[in-house]
């Protein structure tokens, strides 16, 4: 007599949910606005007390530490800017403002430029290799 295999009683498990991959971080050609030193509040509520921030045509680049790559990729935080929902920030020394709101695809980022010079911080002298060219905010 041939023995038949028993059907499996194991329950099938649903496929694991895949998390959305973070967007690839492009290397920009220039920056539109820069803030140093600045306090940053990210969309998830994370606060960086001292950061260097660049707004570019590609997105918002936030640096809380000096990255090992001279191009600064990847930054501490990055997201594409929603230019339709973001007013161009005022520029120049006389335009020092608090709570600059930049709307990104990840949510609003609040930038508060700090009144000091950032002396003693490693980020003060560092710039990404692409941040030597400025372009108009459009």
Per domain, the residue ranges of the chain are 33-113
pTM above 0.85, yes or no: no
How far apart are the C-alpha atoms of 25 and 105, rounded to whole Å? 13
CA 64 centroid distance within chain: 10
Q: What is the pLDDT along the chain (138 residues), one digit of tens a residue?
A: 566 656 555 554 555 455 455 558 999 999 999 999 999 999 999 999 999 999 999 999 999 999 998 899 999 999 999 999 999 887 666 556 788 999 999 999 999 998 888 888 899 999 999 999 999 987
């Amino acid at each position: 007599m041939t023995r038949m295999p028993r059907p499996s009683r194991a329950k099938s498990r649903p496929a694991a949910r895949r998390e959305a991959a973070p967007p690839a971080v492009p290397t920009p050609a220039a920056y539109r606005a820069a803030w140093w030193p600045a306090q940053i509040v990210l969309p998830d509520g994370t606060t960086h007390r001292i950061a260097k921030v660049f707004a570019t045509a590609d997105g918002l680049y936030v640096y809380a530490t000096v990255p090992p790559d001279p191009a600064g990729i990847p930054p501490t935080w990055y997201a594409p800017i929603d230019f339709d929902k973001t007013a161009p920030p005022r520029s120049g020394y006389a335009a020092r403002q608090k709570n600059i709101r930049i709307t990104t695809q990840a949510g609003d980022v609040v930038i508060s430029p700090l009144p000091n010079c950032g002396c003693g911080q490693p980020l003060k002298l560092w710039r990404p290799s692409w941040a030597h060219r400025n372009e108009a905010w459009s």
